Structure 1
Amino acid sequence: MHIHVIFNGHEAKYWLEPQVELAKNTGIPEHKLNEIKTIVEKYADRFKEQFRQHVGKRIDD
C-alpha cells in the first residue's frame, strides 16, 4: 500500500507497508521530503484504515 503526495507540482510516493519509506520523488526538495515523511508516519495507520474502508464500500456495492 502506498500514498502519493503532490507539492508545488512535484510528486513523491511513499510506501506505507511494511514501514513508511520513500519510493519515488520527482523534484520535491529534501527538506520538504523529511517534513512529509513525518506527517505520513504520523497518519499512516489512518490512511491505511480509510483505504480499507473505501475498498470495502466498493466491494459491497
Structure 2
Amino acid sequence: MPEVFRERGFRFFFYSNEGSPREPVHIHVEKDRCEAKFWLRPEVRVAYNDGYDARALRLLHSIVEANRERIERAWHEHFG
C-alpha cells in the first residue's frame, strides 16, 4: 500500500494491486475508519465515500486537486 503523503491527519495512498486491467489513476484517503476514493481525470471527483461528511469531502477534494500532479507522478513511478 504505497503512501503518497499525509496531510491534516489524512493518509493519501493507493493499493499495489489496483485491478486487472488496472484502474485509471486515483487515490484513496483514510482517517479514523473512514475512506474515500477520488478519480483524478478528467477532473477530480469522488469515486466512493465510506464515512466522510460533506465538509470533509470538500476539504479532501481540494487537497487532491492541489496535489494531483504529485499523486500522478507517484502512481506512474510505482506502476511504471
Q: Is TM > 0.5 for Structure 1 vs Structure 2?
A: yes
Query: What is the root-mean-square deviation of aligned Cα atoms in Å?
Result: 0.9
* Greater per-residue helix proportion: 1
Larger Rg: 1
- Relative to the length of structure 2, the TM-score reads 0.65
Residue matched to 2:37: 13
Deviations for 1:2-61, whole angstroms, at most 9, x for unmatched residues? 1100121011010011110011001111101111110000001110011111222xxxxx
Return the structure number with greater strand share: 2
**TM-score normalised by structure 1 residue count:** 0.83
Paired with 1:23 and 1:51, the residues of 2 have a C-alpha distance of 17
Structure 1 runs of 4+ with >2 Å offset: none
| 2:54 equivalent among 9, 18, 30 | 30
Greater RCO (CA < 8 Å, at least 6 residues apart): 1
For the residue of structure 2 that corresponds to 1:32, the secondary structure is: helix
Question: How many aligned residue pairs are there?
Answer: 56
